[in-house]
Amino acid sequence: MKLLIIGPPASGKGTQAEKIAENFELEHISTGDIFRKINDEEISQHLASGKLLPDELVFKAVKEKLDEKENFILDGYPRNVNQAKMLDKFLEERNSKIDYIIYLKVSEETIIKRMTSRRTCKECGKTYNLITSPPPEENKCECGGKLIQREDDKEEVVRDRVKIFKKITQPVIDHYINKLIAVDGELSIDEVYEKIVELLNNQS
């Protein structure tokens, strides 16, 4: 199965992608995670600003990860219609296509609330939410690493990221409208997950 998961920042797509990948035995490919691990000044600045990286650069990274994989969930890609077309062409050349796109719908108010209470471990990358899933110890990850607020989780940057999502990423949903599985992302992590599994199982 080939899945895409799409949603505004803090919609929970990373969390859900991880759970879905485990349940359906898919490779979880997160473009955000790929670029956060790259030690490059220019890329880091780009990420901190919340702006999108160039299509060609991101596609190269995705292609490497996708390789000939049969089963995957792409988290954070495609972010615009051009990226979607590049992906479709790549898969078409392998006689393949995306099966479903999962869209997590969340209001701007919830996004801001969630983002500003999100903390990320500097060492292992695990994320916590100070309200819904607090760390075991203040400012400390379970691995012992220090928790920080990602530059792109700060309110001003979040508002810009939401704008980018609405203007540039949302049209990707229309591009895949026949394959759309839309879920209310305001529900709890477990409720969202159960809904996705139910909808995916009902498709086949």
Stretch that binds ligand AMP, among 77-85, 100-108, 130-138, 195-203 (CB under 6 A): 77-85
Query: Following DSSP, what letter does each residue of 58-116 receive, concatenated?
Result: HHHHHHHHHTT-SSEEEES---SHHHHHHHHHHHHTTT----EEEEEE--HHHHHHHHH
Is there binding between residue 35 and ligand AMP (CB under 6 A)?
Answer: yes
Work out whether 135 is an interface residue with ligand AMP (CB under 6 A).
no
Beta strands in the chain (DSSP E): 2-6, 27-30, 72-75, 100-105, 118-121, 127-129, 147-148, 180-184
Residue among 13, 19, 114, 119 flagged as catalytic:
13
31 binds ligand AMP (CB under 6 A): yes
Q: Which position among 2, 119, 150, 195 bears the catalytic label?
A: 150
Q: Judged by CB under 6 A, does residue 76 bind ligand AMP?
A: yes
Is residue 112 near ligand AMP by the rule CB under 6 A?
no
Query: What are the residues binding ligand AMP (CB under 6 A)?
Result: 9, 31-32, 35, 46-47, 50-53, 58, 76-79, 83, 152, 161
